[in-house]
């Protein structure tokens, strides 16, 4: 089995999951006043679930470009960290323009599958990326076109799909790690404060997400700092000396 086929098969479950989740984004985008083709273009050019949801909320209020910048950088900065981490496992041929092009497809789920490999080459990562990208795009298209046709009960159920995806990402590490649980709880509590308290609930969604994310991350860094491994530092010093 070639690495491309193996990666393609690994991406099929992700693509199927994205199909239902992006359906929700298509519905929301149209409900905000976007045309179906605009929703599809957004999905094709960004491929970031939380970023797109926050982005369309800001886009319906023209002129808030600085808020858009802050919210998108905050939400999508994790992809840079994922890419740096995964670059430690990439094959020697996975460099240059290939990293620039294939790095566009980095998502939480693609990173999780790719990071399980001993070595990631370009063919495997390309195969892994195809179905998630296709599923995300087609799901957005179907949601934006069928959102006005489906019964309200079905729409309400589908609108919960994207939040279910976030819970599926958060809950396993939160159950396994107390620091992660505390950070997640702090972020949720902060968002509740911004949602229910007068004046604070006037702050836009994009900026609220940024504030909650940065504050919760800062709390986690303060309470649970990751200490350097002495053995690793010794090994590094020996390598430098040699």
- CA 143, chain centre distance (Å): 19
Examine the pLDDT at 233 and tell me if it is beyond 70: no
pLDDT digits (tens, 9 = 90+) for 111-131: 888 988 889 999 999 999 999
pTM over 0.85: no
Flag whether pLDDT at 239 surpasses 50.
Answer: no
Dihedral angle of Cα 82, 88, 89, 91, to the nearest 10 degrees: 120
CA of 6: how far to CAs of 9, 13, 80, 102, 128, in Å?
5, 13, 25, 17, 8
Is 132:107 a contact under the CB 8 Å cutoff?
Answer: yes
Q: What mean pLDDT, rounded, does the chain reach?
A: 84
As a whole number of Å, the end-to-end CA separation of the chain is 41
**Portion of the chain with pLDDT greater than 70, in percent:** 89
Distance from C-alpha of 12 to C-alpha of 3, rounded to nearest angstrom: 15
What are the residues facing 120 on neighbouring strands? 90
Q: What is the pLDDT of residue 95?
A: 87
């Amino acid at each position: 089995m070639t690495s491309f086929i193996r990666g393609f098969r690994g991406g099929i479950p992700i693509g199927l999951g994205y199909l239902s989740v992006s359906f929700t984004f298509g519905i929301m985008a149209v409900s905000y006043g976007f045309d179906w083709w605009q929703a599809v273009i957004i999905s094709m050019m960004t491929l970031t679930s939380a970023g797109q949801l926050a982005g369309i909320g800001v886009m319906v209020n023209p002129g808030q470009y600085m808020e858009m910048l802050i919210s998108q950088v905050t939400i999508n900065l994790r992809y840079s960290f994922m890419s740096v981490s995964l670059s430690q496992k990439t094959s020697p041929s996975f460099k240059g323009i290939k990293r620039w092009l294939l790095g566009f497809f980095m998502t939480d789920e693609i990173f999780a599958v790719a990071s399980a490999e001993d070595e990631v080459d370009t063919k495997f990562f390309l195969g892994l990326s195809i179905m998630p990208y296709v599923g995300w795009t087609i799901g957005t298209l179907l949601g934006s076109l069928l959102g006005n046709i489906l019964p309200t009960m079905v729409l309400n159920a589908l609108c919960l799909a994207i939040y279910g995806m976030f819970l599926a990402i958060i809950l396993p590490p939160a159950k396994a790690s107390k620091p992660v649980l505390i950070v997640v709880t702090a972020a949720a509590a902060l968002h509740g404060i911004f949602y229910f308290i007068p004046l604070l609930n006037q702050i836009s969604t994009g900026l609220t997400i940024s504030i909650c994310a940065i504050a919760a991350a800062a709390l986690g860094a303060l309470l649970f700092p990751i200490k350097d491994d002495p053995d690793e530092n010794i090994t590094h010093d020996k390598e430098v000396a040699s």
